[in-house]
C-alpha cells in the first residue's frame, strides 16, 4: 500500500505538471520544471510516472473523470403544467452554465488536449468520453420523446447529434475566447434555439413545413434514373444523327 507521503508527492507532481504544461506547452516543459515546482527530486518523478507523456496522460484521465461528473445532466422530472416545464428548463440552463464555467476555468488544459489531435497517446480517452456523452444525450432525447417533452417527428439520433455538436463547437469557441464571455447568455441563447427554433416568430407563422420534408428516396432514385436515361438517349440519338450525316457525305463524293 503506498505511503501517505508517496500519495502526497504524486498529487503535488500532478499539480506541478499541469501548471508547467499549460504554461510552457507539453513539448517545451521539462521534467526538471515539474520537480522544481513540486519540490521533489527528479528520481521521485520517475517513481510515479514512466515519462513526461505518461504524466500528462494521467492528468488527462483525471480531468476527463471530473468533466464526466460535471456533464451529468439533471433528471427529467416534470408534469405537463407550464410552471413545471419552466422549472425543468431553468435546471437545464443552470447545468449548461456550470459545464461551460468548468471548461472556462480549465481552458488551458482543454486547449492542449484538443490540440493534440488524433495521434496523441491520450486521444482515445477523449474519443471514448465523446462517444459516452453522445450515447447519454441520445438516450435522454429518446426518453424526452417518450414522455412527450420533445417532438417525435424527428429522429432521436439527429437531435442528439445536433445537441452534442453544438456544445462541442461552443466549448471550442469558449476556450479560444480572448476574454471571459457571458457564459450565461451563450447557454440561454442555445437553449432558446433548441426550444423555439431558428426562425423568427413572424416568419415561422407563414413558413410551410412541407417544403422542408425530404422527397421519398424512391422518387429521387426514379428521377435520377430518368435523368441518366434521358442523357444516354440524347447521346445515342446524337451519335446516330452524326453517323447518318457522315454516310450521306460519303455517298455524295
- Could you read off the pLDDT of 118-168 as tens digits, one per residue? 567 788 888 999 999 999 899 989 988 888 888 888 899 999 999 999 999
Does position 240 have pLDDT exceeding 60, yes or no?
no
Instruction: Please give the full DSSP string across 136-161, using - where no structure is assigned.
Output: HHHHHHHHHHHTTSS-SSS-HHHHHH
Query: pLDDT confidence of 211, banded at 50, 70, 90?
Result: confident
CA-to-CA distance for 191 and 193, rounded, in angstroms?
5
CA-to-CA distance for 57 and 14, rounded, in angstroms?
10
Per-residue pLDDT of 14-54, as tens digits, reads: 999 999 999 988 889 999 999 999 999 999 999 999 999 99
Does position 101 have pLDDT exceeding 90, yes or no?
yes
Does position 8 have pLDDT exceeding 60, yes or no?
yes
Per-residue pLDDT of 215-235, as tens digits, reads: 666 555 555 555 555 555 555
Task: Among 1.10.357.10, 2.60.40.420, 1.10.3720.10, 3.30.9.10, name the CATH number for the domain at 51-198.
Answer: 1.10.357.10
Judged by average pLDDT, the poorest of 117-126, 189-198, 241-250 is: 241-250
CA-to-CA distance for 157 and 41, rounded, in angstroms?
51
Q: 161-178: buried (b, 16+ CB within 10 Å) or exposed (e) per residue?
A: eebbeebeebbeebbeee
Domain spans of the chain? 1-49, 51-198
Residue 208 Cα to chain centre, angstroms: 31
CA-to-CA distance for 54 and 122, rounded, in angstroms?
9
Three cell numbers written together for 182: 457571458
CA-to-CA distance for 72 and 202, rounded, in angstroms?
36
Does position 185 have pLDDT exceeding 80, yes or no?
yes
Residues sharing a CB contact under 8 Å with residue 36, sequence separation 6 or more, in sequence order: 16
- pTM of the shown model: 0.74
Check residue 219 and give its pLDDT.
52
For the chain, what's the residue count?
253
Judged by average pLDDT, the poorest of 80-84, 191-195, 211-215, 237-241 is: 237-241
CA-to-CA distance for 13 and 35, rounded, in angstroms?
7
CA-to-CA distance for 77 and 23, rounded, in angstroms?
43
Check residue 253 and give its pLDDT.
45
Check residue 230 and give its pLDDT.
55
Q: What is the DSSP letter of 106?
A: T
What average pLDDT does the chain have?
A: 82
CA-to-CA distance for 79 and 172, rounded, in angstroms?
35
Check residue 210 and give its pLDDT.
80
Domain 1-49 belongs to what architecture?
Orthogonal Bundle (1.10)
CA-to-CA distance for 34 and 9, rounded, in angstroms?
12
Does position 249 have pLDDT exceeding 60, yes or no?
no
Amino acid at each position: 500500500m503506498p505511503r501517505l507521503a508517496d500519495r502526497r508527492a504524486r498529487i503535488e507532481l500532478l499539480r506541478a505538471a499541469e501548471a508547467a504544461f499549460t504554461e510552457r506547452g507539453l513539448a517545451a516543459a521539462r521534467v526538471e520544471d515539474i520537480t522544481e515546482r513540486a519540490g521533489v527530486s527528479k528520481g521521485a518523478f520517475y517513481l510515479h510516472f514512466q515519462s513526461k507523456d505518461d504524466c500528462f496522460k494521467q492528468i488527462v484521465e483525471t480531468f476527463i473523470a471530473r468533466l464526466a461528473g460535471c456533464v451529468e445532466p439533471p433528471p427529467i422530472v416534470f408534469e405537463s403544467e407550464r410552471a413545471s416545464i419552466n422549472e425543468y428548463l431553468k435546471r437545464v440552463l443552470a447545468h449548461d452554465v456550470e459545464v461551460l464555467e468548468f471548461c472556462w476555468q480549465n481552458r488551458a488544459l482543454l486547449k492542449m488536449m484538443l490540440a493534440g489531435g488524433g495521434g496523441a497517446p491520450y486521444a482515445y480517452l477523449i474519443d471514448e468520453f465523446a462517444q459516452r456523452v453522445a450515447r447519454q444525450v441520445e438516450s435522454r432525447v429518446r426518453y424526452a420523446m417518450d414522455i412527450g417533452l420533445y417532438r417525435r417527428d424527428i429522429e432521436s439520433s439527429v437531435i442528439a447529434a445536433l445537441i452534442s455538436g453544438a456544445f462541442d463547437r461552443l466549448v471550442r469557441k469558449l476556450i479560444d475566447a480572448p476574454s471571459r464571455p457571458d457564459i450565461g447568455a451563450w447557454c440561454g441563447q442555445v437553449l432558446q434555439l433548441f426550444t423555439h427554433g431558428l426562425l423568427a416568430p413572424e416568419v415561422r407563422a407563414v413558413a410551410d413545413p412541407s417544403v422542408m420534408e425530404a422527397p421519398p428516396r424512391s422518387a429521387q432514385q426514379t428521377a435520377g434514373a430518368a435523368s441518366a436515361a434521358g442523357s444516354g438517349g440524347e447521346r445515342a440519338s446524337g451519335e446516330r444523327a452524326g453517323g447518318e450525316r457522315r454516310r450521306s457525305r460519303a455517298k455524295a463524293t
